[in-house]
Amino acid sequence: MITLSSEQVSDFQENGYLITHNLFDAEETNILRAAADADSTFKQHVHDLEDGEGGKAQLVLWNEVGENLWGAIARSERIVNIMEQLLDDEVYHYHSKMSIKQPNIGGAWNWHQDYGYWYQNGCLYPDMASAFIALDPNTRENGCLQVLKGSHKMGRIDHGQYGDQTGADPLRVKEATKVMELAYLELKPGDTLFLHSNLLHRSDQNASERKRWSLICCYNTKHNNPYKESHHPRYKPLEKLPDSAIKEMSHKLFDSKTAFWNPVKKGTTATSKK
Q: What is the pLDDT of residues 24-38, one digit of tens each?
A: 999 999 999 999 888
Distances (CA, A) of 36 to 23, 51, 69, 100, 256: 19, 24, 10, 10, 11
Give the neighbor-by-neighbor strand order of the sheet with 145-148: 109-112, 201-203, 145-148, 182-185
Find the CATH number of the domain harbouring 89.
2.60.120.620
Q: Has residue 121 been placed in a domain?
A: yes
Q: Has residue 272 been placed in a domain?
A: no
Tens-binned pLDDT, residue by residue, of the chain (274 aa): 789 999 999 999 999 999 999 999 999 999 999 998 888 778 888 888 888 888 888 899 999 988 889 999 999 999 999 999 999 999 999 999 999 999 988 889 999 999 999 999 999 999 999 999 999 999 999 999 999 999 999 999 999 987 667 899 999 999 999 999 999 999 999 999 999 999 999 999 999 999 999 999 999 999 999 999 999 999 999 999 999 999 988 765 554 444 444 555 544 444 444 4
Q: Has residue 235 been placed in a domain?
A: yes
Q: What is the pLDDT of residues 60-101, one digit of tens each?
A: 999 998 888 999 999 999 999 999 999 999 999 999 999 999
Q: Given the DSSP bridges, would you call strands 56-62 and 128-134 parallel, antiparallel or unpaired?
A: unpaired
Q: Has residue 256 been placed in a domain?
A: no
β-partners of residue 219 are 93, 129
Q: Which of 26, 46, 11, 35 is nearest to 264 (CA)?
A: 46
Q: What count of residues does the chain have?
A: 274
Q: Has residue 261 been placed in a domain?
A: no
Question: Per the structure, how many domains does the chain have?
Answer: 1
* Residue range of the domain that includes 145: 16-250
Tell me how far apart the alpha carbons of residues 140 and 186 are, in angstroms, rounded to a whole number: 7
Query: What is the largest distance, in Å, between two alpha-carbon atoms of the chain?
Result: 52
Q: At what angle do helices 77-87 and 6-15 cross, to 10 degrees?
A: 70
Q: Has residue 197 been placed in a domain?
A: yes
Q: Has residue 1 been placed in a domain?
A: no
Q: Has residue 195 been placed in a domain?
A: yes
Collect contacts of 40-49 with beta carbons under 8 A, ≥24 apart: 40/254, 40/256, 41/254, 41/256, 41/259, 41/263, 42/98, 45/259, 45/263, 45/264, 45/265, 45/266, 46/100, 47/266, 47/270, 49/107, 49/165, 49/270, 49/273
Tell me how far apart the alpha carbons of residues 10 and 74 are, in angstroms, rounded to a whole number: 24
Residue 154: the pLDDT is 97
